[in-house]
A and B are shown apart, each in its own frame.
Chain A
Amino acid sequence: MSSDRTDQTPLVQVDDLAIRFDVSARNWGLRSRVFRAVDGISFEVAKGESLALVGESGSGKTTTGRAILGLYRPASGSVRFDGEEVSKLSGPALRHFRRRAQMIFQDPYASLNPRMKVGAIIAEPLRAHGFGSASARRERVTEMLRLVGLPPDAANRFPYAFSGGQRQRIGIARALALSPDFVVADEPVSALDVSVQAQILNLLAQLREELSLTMVFIAHNLAVVRHVASRVAVMYLGELVEIGTRDDVFARPAHPYTRALLRAVPPPDPAAGWSGAEVSLRGDIPSPIDPPPGCRFHTRCPEAIDICKTVVPQVQTFPSGRKVACHLASPEKYDADPTDTGPPRRP
Chain B
Amino acid sequence: MMASAVEAPENALEVRGLSTVYGTARGQIVAVRDVSFRIEPGEAVGIVGESGCGKTAIALALLGLLPRNGRIASGQILLRGTELVGATSKVLRDLRGRRIAMVFQDSMTSLDPVMPIGRQIAEGIITHLGVSKDDARRRAIELLEEVGVPDPVKRLASYPHQLSGGLRQRVAIAVALAADPDVLVADEPTTALDVTIQAQILDLLERERRRRGMALILITHDLGVVASVTDRVLVMYAGRVVELGTTAEIFADPRHPYTLGLLNSMPRVESVLDRELPTIPGSPPSGYDERQGCPFIPRCSFAIDTCRRVDPPLEPAAGGGEAHQAACLVDTRTRRSAR
Q: Which A residues are closer than 8 A to B by beta carbons? A: 1-3, 56-57, 163-166, 193-199, 201-202, 205-206, 220-224, 226-227, 250, 260-272, 274-277, 279, 281-285, 300, 343-346
Chain A residue nearest in CB terms to B225: A266
Of B88-96, B174-182, B268-276, the one with at least 4 CB within 8 A of chain A: B268-276
Determine if A165 and B277 form an interchain contact, defined as CB atoms under 8 angstroms apart: no
Determine if B269 and A262 form an interchain contact, defined as CB atoms under 8 angstroms apart: yes
List 10 additional A-B contacts (Cβ < 8 Å) besides A261-B196, A267-B224: A56-B195, A56-B197, A220-B195, A221-B267, A266-B202, A266-B225, A276-B204, A276-B206, A284-B167, A345-B274
Residues in A neighbouring B263, C-beta threshold 8 A? 268
Determine if B247 and A193 form an interchain contact, defined as CB atoms under 8 angstroms apart: no
Residues in A neighbouring B207, C-beta threshold 8 A? 277
Interface SS of B by simple majority: helix
A346→B274 CA distance, assembly (Å): 8
Residues in A neighbouring B270, C-beta threshold 8 A? 267
Q: Tell me the minimal C-beta distance from B10 to chain A in angstroms.
A: 24
Question: Does B283 make an interface contact (CB < 8 A)?
Answer: yes
Question: Does B152 make an interface contact (CB < 8 A)?
Answer: no
Chain B residues touching A, range: 35 or more
Q: Tell me the minimal C-beta distance from B33 to chain A in angstroms.
A: 19
Residues in A neighbouring B225, C-beta threshold 8 A? 266
A276 and B272 contact, Cβ closer than 8 Å, known pairs A196-B283, A201-B277, A224-B267: no
Question: Does B51 make an interface contact (CB < 8 A)?
Answer: yes
Closest 9 CB pairs of A and B: A276-B203, A266-B228, A279-B199, A266-B224, A198-B265, A56-B194, A163-B283, A198-B277, A193-B50
Residues in A neighbouring B275, C-beta threshold 8 A? 346
Residues in B neighbouring A284, C-beta threshold 8 A? 164, 166-167, 197
Determine if B221 and A226 form an interchain contact, defined as CB atoms under 8 angstroms apart: no
- CB-defined A-B contacts under 8 Å, sample of 27: A3-B274, A164-B51, A194-B221, A195-B299, A199-B279, A201-B267, A201-B277, A220-B194, A226-B267, A226-B269, A265-B224, A266-B198, A266-B224, A266-B225, A268-B227, A268-B268, A270-B251, A270-B252, A271-B248, A271-B251, A276-B199, A277-B207, A279-B196, A279-B203, A281-B199, A346-B272, A346-B274
A271→B272 CA distance, assembly (Å): 19
Residues in B neighbouring A1, C-beta threshold 8 A? 274
Residues in B neighbouring A269, C-beta threshold 8 A? 227, 251
Determine if B228 and A275 form an interchain contact, defined as CB atoms under 8 angstroms apart: yes
Contact check: which of B150, B166, B228 meets A274 at CB < 8 Å?
A: B228
Question: Does B284 make an interface contact (CB < 8 A)?
Answer: yes
Residues in B neighbouring A275, C-beta threshold 8 A? 203, 206, 228
Question: Which has the most chain B C-beta neighbours within 10 Å: A195, A220, A227?
Answer: A195
A194→B274 CA distance, assembly (Å): 19
A345 and B272 contact, Cβ closer than 8 Å, known pairs A194-B265, A198-B279, A268-B251: yes
Determine if B248 and A270 form an interchain contact, defined as CB atoms under 8 angstroms apart: yes
Determine if B200 and A194 form an interchain contact, defined as CB atoms under 8 angstroms apart: no
Q: Tell me the minimal C-beta distance from A302 to chain B in angstroms.
A: 11
Question: Does B261 make an interface contact (CB < 8 A)?
Answer: yes
A246→B238 CA distance, assembly (Å): 37
Residues in B neighbouring A223, C-beta threshold 8 A? 266-269
Determine if A194 and B266 form an interchain contact, defined as CB atoms under 8 angstroms apart: yes
Chain A residue nearest in CB terms to B283: A163
Residues in A neighbouring B269, C-beta threshold 8 A? 222-223, 226, 250, 262, 265, 267
| Residues 233-290 of B contacting A (Cβ, < 8 Å) | 247-248, 251-252, 261-263, 265-281, 283-284
A119→B252 CA distance, assembly (Å): 45
Question: Which has the most chain B C-beta neighbours within 10 Å: A165, A276, A283?
Answer: A276
Determine if A276 and B200 form an interchain contact, defined as CB atoms under 8 angstroms apart: yes
Determine if B196 and A264 form an interchain contact, defined as CB atoms under 8 angstroms apart: yes
Determine if A267 and B196 form an interchain contact, defined as CB atoms under 8 angstroms apart: no
Determine if A272 and B279 form an interchain contact, defined as CB atoms under 8 angstroms apart: no
Q: Tell me the minimal C-beta distance from A315 to chain B in angstroms.
A: 23
A282→B263 CA distance, assembly (Å): 30
| Residues 321-339 of B contacting A (Cβ, < 8 Å) | none
A77→B32 CA distance, assembly (Å): 56
Question: Does B73 make an interface contact (CB < 8 A)?
Answer: no
Residues in A neighbouring B248, C-beta threshold 8 A? 270-271
Question: Does B77 make an interface contact (CB < 8 A)?
Answer: no
A285→B197 CA distance, assembly (Å): 9
Q: Tell me the minimal C-beta distance from A239 to chain B in angstroms.
A: 17
A281→B50 CA distance, assembly (Å): 29
Residues in B neighbouring A195, C-beta threshold 8 A? 50, 261-262, 265, 279-280, 283-284, 299
A265→B198 CA distance, assembly (Å): 9
